[in-house]
Amino acid sequence: MPLLNTSKMATQQTKRQELITELRTILGDGMVDVELDPKHFDTAIDLSVDRFRQRSSNSTEESYIYLKILQDTNEYTLPKEVIEVREIFRRSVAGSNNSIDLDPFELAYTNLYFLQGGRIGGLMTWDAFAQYQEVVRRLFGGYLNFKYITESNKLILMRRPRAEETVLLQVYMEKPVDTLITQRYSRPWIRDYALAQCKMMLGEARSKYSSLPGAQGSVTLNGDALKAEAQATMERLEREIDTYGTGEDPLTFVIG
């Protein structure tokens, strides 16, 4: 039976609960009665995280994972956090260790040997050796063609592997929720967006009745005002992402 990482779950729950406490305090809980239940706060945070992941590039991170390729198997299931596979790096060609073995220690020795001053060879010889490796990889299957299906997390290799080998995948993964709600750039955005969602829920509930009877007459509810304020906050937060205010990498020059 697999063991659960209870400490990580408790830490994530604590961070999430701290965010809910902040939302309650901002809404005036303790001074007035806030009609929202715990499930409403959880829903507001989930909606904020989903929106941030949809709009912001800061919700992903580059990572490298190892994958063991099996013989005659060209379809593999990756973790659900993986949203894009950029490249597959192979150590050798077709399971062999000849021609273009990419042992880092061998490359370090080659670099040290050819770059020594006063000896035969130099930068040109080292560059020719590197180009030789690249050409051999291109001609003899050093690069793997693949297709990654995000919806099912399926990695499909375009040709049948002839032998078992371990490859390195360059991937982009979703940042965990506990990272997003604690990061210095994403936390304020998620908190403000979740607060706007809470105000929208309160506004929907309070706008069902324009007023309620009270001891001194009717009491006017602020449902419409809450919804208008929430909508304005959401639009402002959307513009912050467009102007790279939440930690995104800005656009660079495009040539061509």
Would the pLDDT of 167 be above 60? yes
- In this prediction, residue 103 has a pLDDT band, given cuts at 50, 70 and 90, of low
Contact 161, 69 (CB under 8 A): yes
Contact 148, 86 (CB under 8 A): no
| Predicted local confidence at residue 106, as pLDDT | 57
Closest listed residue to residue 51, CA positions, set 155, 160, 159, 200: 200
- In this prediction, residue 99 has a pLDDT band, given cuts at 50, 70 and 90, of very low
Q: How far apart are CA 9 and CA 39, in angstroms?
A: 18
As a whole number, the mean pLDDT across the chain is: 82
Closest listed residue to residue 189, CA positions, set 2, 87, 96, 54: 54
Residue 219: beta bridge partners?
A: 212
Calculate the alpha carbon distances from 173 to 43, 64, 81, 153 in Å. Answer: 23, 10, 5, 12
- Here the tokens at position 164 are 């078992």
- Here the tokens at position 190 are 């998620």
Q: How far apart are CA 160 and CA 230, in angstroms?
A: 54
Q: How far apart are CA 225 and CA 196, in angstroms?
A: 12
| Predicted local confidence at residue 222, as pLDDT | 82
- Here the tokens at position 18 are 């701290």
Residue-wise pLDDT tens digits, 116-128: 555 555 566 667 7
> 137 vs 72, which has greater pLDDT?
72
- Here the tokens at position 64 are 């490298």
Closest listed residue to residue 204, CA positions, set 234, 225, 232: 225
In this structure, what DSSP letter does residue 162 have?
Answer: S
> 101 vs 144, which has greater pLDDT?
144
Strands 82-89 and 154-157, by their bridges, are unpaired
Q: Which residues contact 163 (CB under 8 A, 6 or more apart)?
A: 71, 94, 95, 96
Contact 240, 233 (CB under 8 A): no
- One-letter amino acid at 185 equals Y
> 212 vs 48, which has greater pLDDT?
48
Would the pLDDT of 10 be above 60? no
Burial class (CB in 10 A: 0-12, 13-18, 19+), 92: middle
Would the pLDDT of 5 be above 60? no
- What percent of the chain has pLDDT above 70? 77
14-37: average pLDDT: 90
Residue-wise pLDDT tens digits, 169-223: 999 999 999 999 999 999 999 999 999 999 999 999 888 777 666 666 666 778 8
> 12 vs 55, which has greater pLDDT?
55
